[in-house]
Structure 1
Amino acid sequence: MQRDLRRKTWFILFLVVVVGVYAILPIFNPTLKQLFFKGNDPIRRGLDLKGGLEVILAPDYRVESRVLSEVESYVQDLLSPLGVQAQNISLLGQSNDNNRYEGLTFKFASADEAKQVVTADVIKDKLTWRSGVEEKKLKVDIAVSTVDPSVVEVKVQEDPANFPADALYQAKVIMENRINSSGLSETVVRLDQTKHRIEVQLPGVRSQAEAERLLKSTGRLNFRLNNDKIVMYGTDLEEAQAGYHPQNNTPVINLSFGKSGAKLFEQITTENVNAILGIYLDEEQLMAPIISEPIPNGSAQINMGSGTTLQEAKDYAILMKSGALPISLRSVLVTQVAPTLGTETVKLSLIAGAIGILLVFIFMIIFYGRMGTVANLALAVYTLMVLGSIALFRGVLTLPGIAGLILGVGMAVDANVIIFERIKDEIRSGKGMRSALNSGFDRAYVTILDSNITTLLVAAVLYFFGTGAVKGFAVTLAVSILASMFTALFVSKTILEIWVGKAPERFFAKYEVRG
């Protein structure tokens, strides 16, 4: 019995010390913060507490201008047999940084010519575009413009069948790696399958330009021979590591390709010595190294030159090794979010919370004597466990999450109240303190378990069917419930077993145990 009790005691002490050192002390100790969290806050704050930007991204099925130039030639060839000719051809839609458009517009001499082109039905609704190893299946839709009847709009987009079924999920994972590599630890990347989009929260980021710079690294990596045709994709690249050249000490990037990629890379470098192998992120050129010799074995080195710093080389390596997105994305909404709580409000809220907890402590001691002290100790362990869990799993604390934590505090106290009332009933019936203690916990166990399981089920429903803030509330509520059950049924009992004696008045006020 005593041996088992000692084990429980040491386990609780170990838990408190480990969690305290890991989650609490780094808040006040910069050295520990740097050691455990690389200088970031142990508990990450969400948009509503820190402010920042929220960006919503959706699949971008538009096509590049280089693809549309060939579609233009294809359509022009089909117009000749009809005896009509477009007076003006222009790109349809507004471009973005990736140089993508919705299609082409063809301006004809009259509305009759435009109608003739559409009714002739000579333009296929599906096309295949090829360039080097690159191939795109395209969906084409042709119609007379609703604004100008003499204009034909040829809308072109990539066929969604070009992309894997789980392309958005893959994009979400890759995007998390890239953004987190930039040092934004509070960033949240969430996939919304029902709306077929990705939501990115960037706490602390104030300018849209900065957000676009961060998200710009989510493009598709490709290698272009002489900055023209794509000959390889980023999916062939396995590793990109920055370092120094062993001889001249200039920054370099070491590349490693997979088995199939290594074979293709050897073929490209063998056949194109002294040619430029441009490395692109979507349509933006990252660098343009020159092939100096055939490169076998799938290992290459890019010399960045003396004008480049090691940090710049590392930044390029991050963009390259984080993986190529399997689908192109575009931002459909960028929202500036101000902190819901200002600095002064947060400070006042903390003071109010401390006062509230202090009142709970006083209440428990007045009404339950030393038992109240036990509950207060268990509540302290509960707080450490919840904060430690959030820090350990790098959760993001939001306003709804704080609400879940506060609700958990109430449930933790409530569980102890149920246990203590059961113990008092046992004492009133004439049992000794140790016997009353065991019976009280046994009888309260089922009640506490049932009530907490039902609340956990509610939290599960909120998590799986809720969105954003609702999910944050559900997660913190579930963590709080589990922590409160542990502290009530294990920590409180262990402390009581250590302190238990024959006189019940040592644990309750005397009037509480009278028959």
Structure 2
Amino acid sequence: MRQDLRWRVGFIFIITIFLGLIISPIGAGFFKTDPIRLGLDLKGGVELLLSPDYRLGTNILNKLGDALTAKVTQASIAAPQVVPLGVMDGDRYDGLKLTFASASDAQRAMNLNAFPEHYQFNQFGESKNFNFTPVVKGNVIELKVLEDARDFPEDALDRSKAIIEHRISEAASGMAEADVRLDGKGRLNVQLPGLKTLQQARDIIVATGRLTFRINDQIVLDGTDMSDVRVSYEAGKGYVINFTFKDEGAKQLEKITTENVGKQMAVYLDESMLMNPVIQDPIPGGSGVITLGSAAKDEVEKDALLMKSGALPVSLRVVESTQVAPTLGKEIVKQSILAAIIGVVAVIIFMLLFYSLPGLLADGALIVFVILFLGVLALFRGVLTLPGIAGFILTVGMAVDANVIIFERIKDEIRNGKRVRPAIHSGFDRALIAIIDSNVTTLIAAVVLFFFGTGPVQGFAITLSLGVLISMFTAIFVTRTFLEWKVDHDPDRYAKYFGAKEVTIE
């Protein structure tokens, strides 16, 4: 065997074995990667679409109702009946509904500007801003809240995404396939494969994160009175976390650190330990510094974010929810796998019947394609969905199409009088442009689908792109290597397998 063929065959063998091990149970444990991860539509589970919850709790609505009623009565208008607007969901409502004695009273109240679109009042020493849409319906005025009172920061959804991902990762090992992403419309899409009920999803997502400080696994302090957390750089210490407690929390911190110098005080978010620093000195006044050694800036900032924003920085509401039963997911998996197997087997039989020995070698390349596709998907922690399986089956057909083009070109070269070895070289060279052209066109379409599609469409685009790239590799490199390896010693004896009646020497 030629030296270059040895290298090529060895390369194909190594990557096939490597990726094959990754998708096997033994290899998955050894390489510390999950096998093929199944998406929501295959495994079953819950999908939630979340948006910022601009509704208000009853405590704030009561204060607001009292303030608005006072304005109305000062103008000698009979006090309206004030009730929350909409249906209660988690102690939150859409706004206020004020019912007046008559339509004229309601109109007078509107004319007096008693219900401005922007309203502000102080609560707990903080200024709260409300935006409303007042609507008059006879003797009723409805005030619907447009924005939350807390004036959400611009990065509120990014921070919420990080916190939700953290909670999901700690909630259960069975949710490794969970996916949280921003949809570009100010909403969060959360997919939780394997989860059985919507309530489980709500409990994980809307639960308030609790920050605690523990010594010897005993909670000695919580983050209720923590007022500030920030990252700074100190010479000789690297990036550190500066934190401040106020009021009772500051007193407790001083007492605890005074009594436990030299001990470790772990910082937990829910039941996940963020860090475990040693108390070096008592901390009077409530302000301290956590030194994390050589930790990278990104890691320190992430820990500081979780300490500062253990609770979600923005209230979220479920605007859409989808639940796929595990039994339905299992049935879809069976049908999808069966469809994929039938497709691959049908292609293998077709190539074997129509192209004999070259078809058998192409079938070998197709098996390599399947292993590489699944292995790369597992290696990069991709999620296989139902549209993804459709994309995979489509690329199987494209891989075979490339081989058909190549074999027909080789046949043409042999019929024109070339011997097998130069015919193989010429056949691949002639087929290369057509193969690249068709595959690049498909890749362009897949890229467009990815950037302009959402959810399942993007999943289809990703698997289609991956399949196209791998099918080009197997058709152009693997199939060619197999053919050249087979005809290396006695090429002319294989001419008949390409449809040649006899061999003519140029």
TM range (shorter): 0.7 to 0.9
What is the number of residues matched between the two proteins? Answer: 452
Could you give the per-residue CA deviations for residues 237-277 of structure 1, whole angstroms, max 9, x where no partner exists? xxx798x73xx5546799894248966615556765599xx
Could you give the per-residue CA deviations for residues 457-486 of structure 1, whole angstroms, max 9, x where no partner exists? 111222222232222222111111111001
Aligned partner of residue 509 in structure 1, secondary structure: helix
Task: Say whether the 8 Å CA contact 2:206–2:316 is kept in structure 1.
Answer: no
Alpha-carbon distance change, 298 to 113 in structure 1, aligned in 2, over 3 angstroms: farther
Task: Say whether the 8 Å CA contact 1:57–1:332 is kept in structure 2.
Answer: yes
Q: Pick from 202, 207, 227 the counterpart of residue 192 of structure 2.
A: 202
Letter in 1 for 2:41: D
Letter in 1 for 2:169: N
Tell me the CA shift for residue 293 of structure 1. 6.5
Alpha-carbon distance change, 59 to 343 in structure 1, aligned in 2, over 3 angstroms: closer
- Give the corresponding residue for 1:104: 96
Alpha-carbon distance change, 35 to 14 in structure 1, aligned in 2, over 3 angstroms: closer
Which segment drifts farther, 169-178 or 450-459? Answer: 169-178
Alpha-carbon distance change, 487 to 123 in structure 1, aligned in 2, over 3 angstroms: same
State how far apart, in whole Å, the 2-side matches of 1:74 and 1:254 are. 35
Task: Say whether the 8 Å CA contact 2:343–2:393 is kept in structure 1.
Answer: no
Alpha-carbon distance change, 481 to 262 in structure 1, aligned in 2, over 3 angstroms: closer
Task: Say whether the 8 Å CA contact 2:48–2:189 is kept in structure 1.
Answer: yes
Letter in 2 for 1:202: L
List runs of 5+ in structure 2 lacking aligned partners: 233-239, 255-266, 270-282, 292-303
State how far apart, in whole Å, the 2-side matches of 1:414 and 1:109 are. 78
Q: What is the CA RMSD across the aligned residues, in angstroms?
A: 3.9
Which residues in structure 2 correspond to 1:366-385 (within 5 Å)? 366-385=353-372
State how far apart, in whole Å, the 1-side matches of 2:378 and 2:218 are. 39
- Give the corresponding residue for 2:422: 435
Task: Say whether the 8 Å CA contact 1:269–1:293 is kept in structure 2.
Answer: no
Task: Say whether the 8 Å CA contact 2:53–2:148 is kept in structure 1.
Answer: no
Task: Say whether the 8 Å CA contact 2:100–2:106 is kept in structure 1.
Answer: yes
State how far apart, in whole Å, the 2-side matches of 1:450 and 1:384 are. 25
Letter in 2 for 1:158: E
Letter in 2 for 1:162: D
State how far apart, in whole Å, the 1-side matches of 2:70 and 2:49 are. 40
Alpha-carbon distance change, 150 to 318 in structure 1, aligned in 2, over 3 angstroms: same
State how far apart, in whole Å, the 1-side matches of 2:52 and 2:144 are. 16
Alpha-carbon distance change, 142 to 353 in structure 1, aligned in 2, over 3 angstroms: closer
- Give the corresponding residue for 2:6: 6
Aligned partner of residue 106 in structure 1, secondary structure: strand
Tell me the CA shift for residue 510 of structure 1. 6.5
Which residues in structure 2 correspond to 1:210-229 (within 5 Å)? 210-217=200-207
- Give the corresponding residue for 2:230: 258
Q: Pick from 297, 300, 313 the counterpart of residue 288 of structure 2.
A: 297
Alpha-carbon distance change, 391 to 80 in structure 1, aligned in 2, over 3 angstroms: same
Aligned partner of residue 11 in structure 2, secondary structure: helix
1:62 aligns with 2:52: no
Letter in 1 for 2:381: R
Alpha-carbon distance change, 116 to 267 in structure 1, aligned in 2, over 3 angstroms: same
Alpha-carbon distance change, 339 to 464 in structure 1, aligned in 2, over 3 angstroms: farther
Aligned partner of residue 88 in structure 2, secondary structure: coil
Tell me the CA shift for residue 454 of structure 1. 0.8
- Give the corresponding residue for 1:92: 85
Alpha-carbon distance change, 205 to 456 in structure 1, aligned in 2, over 3 angstroms: same
Aligned partner of residue 410 in structure 2, secondary structure: helix
Which segment drifts farther, 254-263 or 99-108? Answer: 254-263
Letter in 2 for 1:113: D
State how far apart, in whole Å, the 1-side matches of 2:68 and 2:433 are. 75
State how far apart, in whole Å, the 2-side matches of 1:86 and 1:514 are. 106
Tell me the CA shift for residue 67 of structure 1. 3.0
Task: Say whether the 8 Å CA contact 1:504–1:513 is kept in structure 2.
Answer: no
Could you give the per-residue CA deviations for residues 313-370 of structure 1, whole angstroms, max 9, x where no partner exists? xxxx998688654432201232333469664675466456445533433432343333
- Give the corresponding residue for 2:134: 142
Letter in 1 for 2:10: W
Alpha-carbon distance change, 264 to 362 in structure 1, aligned in 2, over 3 angstroms: closer
Aligned partner of residue 128 in structure 1, secondary structure: strand
Task: Say whether the 8 Å CA contact 1:404–1:477 is kept in structure 2.
Answer: yes
Tell me the CA shift for residue 438 of structure 1. 1.9
- Give the corresponding residue for 1:81: 74
Letter in 1 for 2:16: V
Task: Say whether the 8 Å CA contact 1:54–1:334 is kept in structure 2.
Answer: yes
State how far apart, in whole Å, the 2-side matches of 1:507 and 1:161 are. 79
Task: Say whether the 8 Å CA contact 2:336–2:386 is kept in structure 1.
Answer: no
State how far apart, in whole Å, the 1-side matches of 2:450 and 2:388 are. 12
Letter in 2 for 1:139: N
State how far apart, in whole Å, the 1-side matches of 2:486 and 2:54 are. 69
State how far apart, in whole Å, the 1-side matches of 2:184 and 2:190 are. 14
Alpha-carbon distance change, 141 to 410 in structure 1, aligned in 2, over 3 angstroms: closer
Which residues in structure 2 correspond to 1:149-160 (within 5 Å)? 149-158=138-147
Task: Say whether the 8 Å CA contact 2:42–2:330 is kept in structure 1.
Answer: no
- Give the corresponding residue for 1:47: 40
State how far apart, in whole Å, the 1-side matches of 2:433 and 2:116 are. 69
Tell me the CA shift for residue 412 of structure 1. 0.8
Aligned partner of residue 287 in structure 2, secondary structure: coil
Aligned partner of residue 258 in structure 1, secondary structure: strand
Alpha-carbon distance change, 171 to 123 in structure 1, aligned in 2, over 3 angstroms: same
1:505 aligns with 2:480: no
- Give the corresponding residue for 1:178: 167
State how far apart, in whole Å, the 2-side matches of 1:253 and 1:367 are. 75
List runs of 5+ in structure 1 lacking aligned partners: 223-239, 282-291, 301-316
Alpha-carbon distance change, 348 to 464 in structure 1, aligned in 2, over 3 angstroms: closer
Alpha-carbon distance change, 272 to 87 in structure 1, aligned in 2, over 3 angstroms: farther
Tell me the CA shift for residue 447 of structure 1. 0.7
State how far apart, in whole Å, the 2-side matches of 1:344 and 1:167 are. 39
Alpha-carbon distance change, 91 to 49 in structure 1, aligned in 2, over 3 angstroms: same
Could you give the per-residue CA deviations for residues 395-451 of structure 1, whole angstroms, max 9, x where no partner exists? 222222111111111111111121122222222333333322222211111110000
Could you give the per-residue CA deviations for residues 293-330 of structure 1, whole angstroms, max 9, x where no partner exists? 64432449xxxxxxxxxxxxxxxx99868865443220
Task: Say whether the 8 Å CA contact 1:48–1:340 is kept in structure 2.
Answer: no
**Please, what TM-score do these two structures have when normalized by structure 2?**
0.76
Q: Using the aligned pairs only, state the percent identity.
A: 43
Letter in 2 for 1:211: A
Aligned partner of residue 434 in structure 1, secondary structure: helix
Task: Say whether the 8 Å CA contact 2:73–2:79 is kept in structure 1.
Answer: no
Could you give the per-residue CA deviations for residues 83-106 of structure 1, whole angstroms, max 9, x where no partner exists? 234253332233322x32222233
